[in-house]
Amino acid sequence: MDCYDIMKRITTHRGVKQLVVINKEGLPLRTFPAESGGLEDSQIQSLHELAGAARRMVRDVDPTDDLMFLRVCSKTDEILVSPDMSFTVVVFQENYEKQAATV
Amino acid sequence: MDCYDIMKRITTHRGVKQLVVINKEGLPLRTFPAESGGLEDSQIQSLHELAGAARRMVRDVDPTDDLMFLRVCSKTDEILVSPDMSFTVVVFQENYEKQAATV
């Protein structure tokens, strides 16, 4: 199973609205599902900047450490940000309580 | 049990290094344990700004929504930020894997 299939499979999980792969400049490389109306490019750029600020914060506390994951939970949604060397994966989903309420 | 006791009890959980209550300007109101060497004031201020950026991000996606929780996971630690109307509670702890490894 290649990474394309893995990402498509993630979007089939209950509550997942969108998965976006963004590059080092914060520009979307790939969006699953392709035609989804989730996060706009400007919001993806803000997320990229948020992950950058979080990484600076982590390194300020311990310069040998690095950001592995950022979870932004709101009343209705969750945005999961997983940064890597050359790209960042963002998953936009309903928050856990809202998902559990729709069982 | 008043909130003072609750916060003291949180810091007794395994892996918790520090709990800080910060005001709307990002200044620390209370630190548990008092003499802990965890996050510095400048780092707490950065966290406050990070939570502000996350809140703006959430409201940009949906103006009726609001930030409930922010989790910053690094290789060694986790910073949990729970913003409220008049103050924000920050918990600085070892990340889950590191805690599980010390069982």
Q: What ipTM, to 2 d.p.? A: 0.87
List the single range of A43-57, A86-100, B70-84 with lowest mean pLDDT. Answer: A86-100
C-alpha separations of A83 from A37, A52, A88, B14 in Å: 22, 9, 4, 27
The Cα of B63 is separated from the nearest Cα of chain A by a number of Å equal to 11
The Cα of A82 is separated from the nearest Cα of chain B by a number of Å equal to 10
Res A53: pLDDT:
94
Task: Give the pLDDT mean for A80-88.
Answer: 92
Which chain A residues are within 8 Å of B47, Cβ to Cβ? 57
Closest partner residue to B54 (CB to CB) among A56, A61, A72 is A72
For B59, which residue in chain A has the nearest alpha carbon? Answer: A74
The Cα of A7 is separated from the nearest Cα of chain B by a number of Å equal to 22
Per-residue pLDDT band for A63 (boundaries 50, 70, 90) equals very high
For A39, which residue in chain B has the nearest alpha carbon? Answer: B61
CATH of domain A3-101: 3.30.450.30
Closest partner residue to A72 (CB to CB) among B42, B49, B58 is B58
Q: Are A32 and A7 in contact (CB under 8 A)?
A: yes
pLDDT digits (tens, 9 = 90+) for B6-23: 888 888 888 899 999 999
CA gap B39, B21 in Å, rounded: 12
Per-residue tokens: B80: 């949990």
C-alpha separations of A73 from A40, A78, A100, B81 in Å: 18, 4, 15, 10
Question: CB atoms < 10 A from the CB of A79, how many?
Answer: 26
Res B85: pLDDT:
85
Contact A74 B58 (CB under 8 A): yes
CA gap B15, B10 in Å, rounded: 10
List the single range of A39-48, A93-102, B70-79 with lowest mean pLDDT. Answer: A93-102
What order do you get walking across the sheet with B67-74 strand by strand?
A28-32, A16-23, A87-94, A77-83, A67-74, B67-74, B77-83, B87-94, B16-23, B28-32
Q: Which amino acid is at B54?
A: A
pLDDT digits (tens, 9 = 90+) for B27-57: 999 998 876 667 888 899 999 999 999 999 9
Closest partner residue to B70 (CB to CB) among A60, A65, A72 is A72
Res A102: pLDDT:
58
CA gap B54, A72 in Å, rounded: 7
